[in-house]
Amino acid sequence: MEMRPGYKQSDVGIIPDDWEVKLLGDVATIKDGTHQTPKYVASGVPFFSVEHVTSGDFKNTKFISEKEHRFLTRTCKIEKGDILMTRIGSIGDCKLIDWDVDASFYVSLALLKIQSRYSAAYIAQYSKSASFQNEVQLHSLQSAIPKKINLGPISSVKIAVPPVAEQRAIATALSDVDALLAKLGQLIAKKRDLKQAAMQQLLTGQTRLPGFSGEWELKRVDEFGEVVTGGTPHTDVKKFWGEGYPPNGRVRVAAPLVVNDEAVRLAVIDKLGWIRRQKAKFADQPRQSQREMVNGESHYFLGQRYRLRVHEYDAPARVAVRGVASLDLFVRPGTSSEQREAVLLRWHREQLKALIPHLLEQWQPILGVLVADWGIKKMKTRWGSCNPAARRIWLNLELAKKPVQCLEYIVVHELVHLLERNHNDRFTALLDKHLPQWPQYREMLSRSTLGHEKLGY
């Protein structure tokens, strides 16, 4: 591809010739907050943590005493013009402190004190770019639960830096757009409230439109026509839920009996483009052949590929990760491949059971929900499920093989179902607010290597 005149290729992509690529540590002094949970008080000095940066709400905080605040800020304190960046849990979210502030912050945040020859407002805007987020993910601890990026790797994050005058101009332009969007959001919210009030008046007859009068009637729904109710087959009906079908790319349609064939045909035609895209994506997805549980075979754990090393010895079976490339499977002599696989699956289950409580501990207070129960099981069509009434979630055992970001995404996805049962606009908005990287994690999950499944036929 021919480069446009006046542009050059860089470590962060194509940029203008007069721009530079800098390490974040070269443009800012980077510190983290206290590593100890402070003693909270009813009122006092605000104490910031991850949820305040991700939500943008710095009014509803916990408080610490003035004495403890002075101790925590004796070497470094938040000042107007600084940037707070999330580094544990949800990583890479940044907030420019553009107001006078007196507050302390937790270790889950990094404080970026931007040098005077750079624009903090520009750095804050740049942090929202895909290039910055990719750099943060690249430098994060891939196996950490919850996700984490240390101060050293934060300093190594590369950013594109234009001349300072252009930095300020870009920051001003984007800030103006942010302000406009905020005003539009307020206007939309106001109009929505007005509509709700109008609906209340018009749909109850309290207000009548010009030209209309007389009494309203009370009718039953079935007086307007035939009422036909649908139903969802029991989960034992495997072929409705797709669990009885092998993953061979064929398309099957489940439709209520009251829908005629022509309506089904038209519905499929309407979705034909989407179906073809999904089939192509599915065909391109890498997949493993049936595992024989022998030396040298590839197996996955937390998104990392390992070579299996089988050791026969006369002791209880166990699994151990050796280095960054080997997975040691210790079994008794004469153990069959099915028994070896059962040992590995049991180990996968144990690892998930150790990881999930940390994620629940992190995300339940952020979302304001609490699960009554959770479990792990093999599922052929879903990565997870949620029963909002019982406040119970299930997670697919296969998630032990996927990157930790995928596991976190599924946990958050199912927890959000405790707030919103359906996959509607509100559900998506909640995910966007609390886990803005979820589309990337979903794509990562959809592109990960498929395992071999021994299905019914």
User: Tens digits of per-residue pLDDT, 413-435?
Assistant: 999 999 998 989 999 999 999 99
Q: How far apart are CA 123 and CA 100, in angstroms?
A: 19
Residues 279 and 302 in one domain: no
- Tens of pLDDT, residues 23-68: 999 999 999 998 888 888 999 999 998 889 988 889 888 999 999 9
Do 269 and 400 reside in the same domain of the chain? Answer: no
* Domains identified in the chain, total number: 3
Same domain, 280 and 302: no
**Are residues 152 and 82 part of one domain?**
yes
Residue 455 — very low, low, confident or very high, per pLDDT cuts 50/70/90? very low
What is the average pLDDT value for the chain, to the nearest integer? 86
279 and 391 share one domain: no
Report the alpha-carbon distance of residue 86 to residue 133 in Å, rounded: 12
Alpha helices of 150-207 — where are they, by DSSP H?
A: 151-155, 164-202
Considering the domain architecture, whether residues 255 and 329 belong to the same structural domain is answered as: no
> Would you give the distance in Å from CA 114 to the centre of its chain?
29
Neighbours of 248 (CB within 10 A): 7
Neighbour-count burial of 175, counting CB atoms closer than 10 A to its CB (0-12 exposed, 13-18 middle, 19+ buried): middle
At 369-418, the pLDDT tens digits run: 899 999 999 887 789 999 999 999 999 999 998 888 899 999 999 999 99
Q: Which domain holds residue 125?
A: 7-172
Write out pLDDT tens, residues 159-169. Answer: 999 999 999 99
- pLDDT band at residue 130 using 50, 70 and 90 as cut-offs: confident
Looking at the domain assignment, is residue 269 inside a domain? Answer: yes
Domain membership of residue 58 (yes or no) is: yes
Residue in 411, 341, 417, 342 with CA at minimum distance from that of residue 376: 411
- Is residue 197, in this structure, part of any structural domain at all? no
Residue 244, pLDDT score: 47
Residue 222 pLDDT > 90 = no
Q: How many residues does the chain have?
A: 457
Chain-centre distance for alpha carbon 345: 26
Residue type, 454: K
Q: Is residue 342 part of a domain?
A: yes
Domain end point (choices 130, 155, 172): 172
Helices (H) and strands (E) in the chain, counts: 14, 19
Say whether both 355 and 385 belong to one domain.
yes
Does 107 fall in a domain? yes
Give the residue, 141 or 109, on which the prediction is more confident.
Answer: 109
Task: Return the CATH number at 41.
Answer: 3.90.220.20
Residue 280: band (very low, low, confident or very high) from pLDDT cuts 50, 70, 90? confident
Q: Are residues 272 and 335 in the same domain?
A: no
pLDDT level of residue 457 (50, 70, 90 thresholds): very low
| 309 and 160 both lie in a single domain | no
Checking if the pLDDT of 286 tops 80, the result is no
pLDDT above 90: residue 228: no
Q: Provide the residue type at 187 as one letter.
A: L
**109 and 249 both lie in a single domain:** no
Here the CATH number for the domain that contains residue 316 is 3.30.2010.10
- Would 255 be classed as within a structural domain? yes
Say if 202 falls within a structural domain.
no
According to DSSP, the residues that pair with 7 across neighbouring strands are: 16
Instruction: List pLDDT tens digits, range 88-98.
Output: 877 899 999 99
The verdict on residue 457 lying in a domain is no
In terms of domains, do 302 and 442 share one?
A: yes
Co-location of 260 and 346 in the same domain: no
Contact assessment for residue 127 and residue 149, using Cβ atoms and an 8 Å cutoff: no
pLDDT in tens, 250-259: 777 878 777 8
Query: Which one of 149, 172, 195 terminates a domain?
Result: 172
